[in-house]
Amino acid sequence: MEWREENGIGWLEASLPGARAAFSTRAGGVSSAPFASLNLGAFAGDEMASVARNRERLAGALGLAPSRVAVGRQVHGSKLATHVAPPRSSPFATLGRPIPEVDGHVTAEPGLAALVLVADCLPVALAGPGGIAMLHCGWRGLAGGIVARGVEAIDATDAAIGPGIGPCCYEVGNEVLEVFAGLGDGIAAEGMLDLTEVARRLLREAGVQRVETAGACTSCESERFFSHRRDGGRTGRQAGLVWLDEKSALSGVG
């Protein structure tokens, strides 16, 4: 992955077959503390006008139309929304519109970006012959099979795992560790769960051939990322997005 910047907005970008993925940071927006400054979450307690402006700024930096960004309200589940056409007006662009409760998006539609909001959970971008998908992967979603569902939906061959809380900071109880015990050794040490490694192994089990990771901890890097655990729940949200690139839009996926 590479760091990119446009008009003060910085993000990590990954190249996937026929697609691009971007993982935003907290820098470059207009929100005030504790949401400073590029908070994209509409349910975090921030001013809606600030959230709307932040979303416009991020979309502009990435060259995306805000009305063509698929977004849902994440509920730590494994349900995916499939999009066969861009929405006329996305809740990403028009705050206050009804928003589906889903933790991932799947599409093969050119000009439509799939987005999830995170603040410690992993944003996981997928690409394959059937299109692209973006998944919101906390431990519950991973345990519930969201990775396998996303991979199957598009026959994914490649994945990019964005920034999330690292094993340095993610202490969990035995009930969580037991859920992933079948993945083998190396996913936890003394109660500290490696969520990225869990996702990587689940992607491999599902048949994904290539997996790239950000290698960044949202809890450790306070200047760069929002973190629900570090900030005691009162914090903003960054995003993971994936969309078909211009070549795919012209010639199709696959």
Side chain identity at residue 93, one-letter code: A
Residue ranges per structural domain of the chain:
2-164+210-249
Residue 175 · residue 210 · CB < 8 Å: no
- Which CATH number applies to 2-164+210-249: 3.30.70.141, 3.60.140.10, 3.40.1050.10, 3.40.50.2300? 3.60.140.10
Q: State yes or no: pLDDT of 155 exceeds 90.
A: yes
Number of other CB atoms surrounding residue 141 within 10 Å: 26
Residue-by-residue DSSP string for 71-92? -----SS---EEESS--SS-TT
The residue ranking higher by pLDDT, 139 or 91, is: 139
| pLDDT of res. 252 | 45
The proportion of the chain whose per-residue pLDDT surpasses 90, expressed as a percent, equals 91
Q: State yes or no: pLDDT of 251 exceeds 70.
A: no
Lowest mean pLDDT among 76-90, 134-148, 181-195: 76-90
Nearest to 7 by CA among 45, 62, 53: 62
| pLDDT of res. 179 | 97
Computed over every residue of the chain, the mean pLDDT equals 95
Q: How confident is the model at residue 247 (pLDDT cuts 50, 70, 90)?
A: low
Lowest mean pLDDT among 80-89, 223-232, 240-249: 240-249
